[in-house]
Chains A and B, each alone.
Chain A
Amino acid sequence: MTTPVYPMTRATGCPFDPPPQLRELQQEAPLVKVDIFGKPAWLVTRYDDQRKLLADPRLSADVTTPGYPSPTGQPPRKDGVGIGFILMDDPEHARMRRMVTAPFMIKRIEAMRDGVQKIVDGLIDDLLAGPKPVDLVEAFALPVPSLVICQLLGVPYADHDFFQQNSKTMIRMTASLEERTAAHGNLASYLDKLVGEKLENPGDDLLSGLTERVKSGELTQQEAAGIGVLLLIAGHETTANMIALGTLALLEHPEQLAVLRETDDPSVVASAVEELLRYLNITHNGRRRAVLEDIELHGQVIKAGDGVIFPNDIANRDESVFSDPDTLDVHRDARRHVAFGFGVHQCLGQPLARMELQVVYSTVYRRIPTLRRAVELDEIPFKHDGAVYGVYSLPVTW
């Protein structure tokens, strides 16, 4: 067998499904050496194996650990394109993560729900009053999470063009190292300046909270700015893609969309959100790790110094866990999905993402019941080259 190359290509006409080659490997070769960035790494495709290894402290998320799968020619570094504690191991990772976990607590996120509902309703009012067709990404999917994360962090929304453009460059896989380093530098300087201002005049927001840690010497101003960059990018790009791609997936499955349009039961909406997270799994380029000690799996040995890739998209389509996995079924219990990853690095912002998606999915299709695509499906540009999957634009009408 020739060595498979990762990432793989989706099948034509199947924009919501993982690449078919991943399914073949999951069934026939659940632990296999692949080529990534021109170097070998292990690919782990089964749900149970992914959960077991992603929770195993013998795997490192630190890009500087030997064997960590990094793009060729990109020096592994913590302070460059890499951002903050997502690329660190415990105990340093836990120390920094715990400085920002409080604002994402379930009860504090719930307290934001009415405000998010107002934002969503306001944007839909504008949409309905404006011209059509309209690009749902620009007019709705991107503004909702951008407004929310700005409020939570204390970032002025007026700067949204700046941070959205730089975030896009940072997570575009086809961007050059120079482009990504420059985009990261722009965001890091911007956040550094903002943290500096909040050191002088703190408000009631997450960045101001971090300035207390800077004053007490637990964090440097640069580290606080780095956390700000991470949360700002992760807080708007991911959810925006789930809103637009989720809407497109629902428009292609009208009987599923009808469930959301007609229910007033929050538990049905919550279940639909979990299923869309499972089915779409927008982080489609796999989580990456380096191995610190030899690990045996399926009769093979993953050696210390080897790299490992975990494509969560195919784990969420593992039929030993989710029956009929390629069917979008908003009524199924999908809560065990690994769309937010697994292990200590699992998404910090997931309670916020869930709440935003619940508000969005329960509102848009009720308020715009005749919502439909304004172009053919094959005219929609999908983010095949993005670290986060989705659509670049989604022209809709009603």
Chain B
Amino acid sequence: MKIIVDQDKCVASGQCVTAAADVFDQRDEDGIVVLLTDNPSEDLAADVHQAAAVCPALAIVVED
């Protein structure tokens, strides 16, 4: 699994953090997405896919 985030597209809804807090965080100054790991363990796959699905800005791409 490989994750790519686009900080320019991100609108700081924070839903990725709610879905997968071990993988996504937010920048202190403006809440924009920060990737904690781009290759998380497989047991987080469902949460990561959920994060990508609910991102309103389509800023998260997951490659399996």
In contact, A101 and B50 (Cβ under 8 angstroms): no
Distance A104 CA – B12 CA, assembled complex (angstroms) = 8
Q: Which of B31, B56, B57, B58 contacts A102 (CB 8 A)?
A: B31
Q: Shortest Cβ distance from A96 into chain B, in angstroms?
A: 12
In contact, A344 and B11 (Cβ under 8 angstroms): yes
Q: How many residues belonging to B are interface residues under a CB distance threshold of 8 Å?
A: 21
Q: Shortest Cβ distance from B54 into chain A, in angstroms?
A: 6
- A298 contacts which chain B residues (CB < 8 A)? none
Distance A340 CA – B55 CA, assembled complex (angstroms) = 12
Q: Within 8 Å of chain A (Cβ to Cβ): is B39? A: no
Q: Which of B26, B57, B58 contacts A107 (CB 8 A)?
A: B26
Q: Within 8 Å of chain A (Cβ to Cβ): is B28? A: yes
Query: Could you tell me which residues of chain B, from 10 to 38, have a CB within 8 Å of some CB in chain A?
Result: 11-15, 17-19, 26, 28-32
Q: Within 8 Å of chain A (Cβ to Cβ): is B5? A: no
Scoring A residues 86 to 106 as 1 if CB is less than 8 Å from chain B, else 0, what string do you get?
Answer: 000000001001100110111
Q: Within 8 Å of chain A (Cβ to Cβ): is B61? A: no
Which residue of chain B has its CB nearest to the CB of A98? B30
In contact, A98 and B12 (Cβ under 8 angstroms): yes
In contact, A104 and B31 (Cβ under 8 angstroms): yes
In contact, B31 and A344 (Cβ under 8 angstroms): no
In contact, A335 and B54 (Cβ under 8 angstroms): yes
- A354 contacts which chain B residues (CB < 8 A)? 18
In contact, A106 and B18 (Cβ under 8 angstroms): yes
Q: Within 8 Å of chain A (Cβ to Cβ): is B53? A: yes
Which residue of chain A has its CB nearest to the CB of B56? A346
Distance A105 CA – B14 CA, assembled complex (angstroms) = 6
The contact size tier of chain A is: 20 to 34
In contact, A101 and B30 (Cβ under 8 angstroms): yes
Q: A106-B14, A106-B18 are in contact. Are A101 and B56 (CB under 8 A)?
A: no
- B14 contacts which chain A residues (CB < 8 A)? 104-106, 109, 350-351
In contact, A343 and B53 (Cβ under 8 angstroms): no
Q: Within 8 Å of chain B (Cβ to Cβ): is A336? A: yes
Q: Shortest Cβ distance from A268 into chain B, in angstroms?
A: 15
Q: Which of A101, A335, A336, A346 contacts B31 (CB 8 A)?
A: A101
Q: A101-B32, A335-B54, A343-B57 are in contact. Are A106 and B11 (CB under 8 A)?
A: no
Q: Within 8 Å of chain B (Cβ to Cβ): is A341? A: yes
Q: Within 8 Å of chain B (Cβ to Cβ): is A382? A: no
Q: Shortest Cβ distance from A396 into chain B, in angstroms?
A: 31
Name which of B12, B17, B29, B57 has the most chain A CB atoms within 10 A of its CB.
B12
The residues of A with any CB-CB pair to B shorter than 8 Å are 55, 94, 97-98, 101-102, 104-107, 109, 335-336, 340-344, 346-348, 350-351, 354
A sample of 13 inter-chain contacts (CB < 8 A) reads: A97-B11, A98-B30, A101-B32, A104-B12, A105-B14, A105-B26, A106-B26, A335-B50, A343-B57, A344-B11, A344-B57, A348-B12, A348-B13
The residues of B with any CB-CB pair to A shorter than 8 Å are 9, 11-15, 17-19, 26, 28-32, 50, 53-54, 56-58
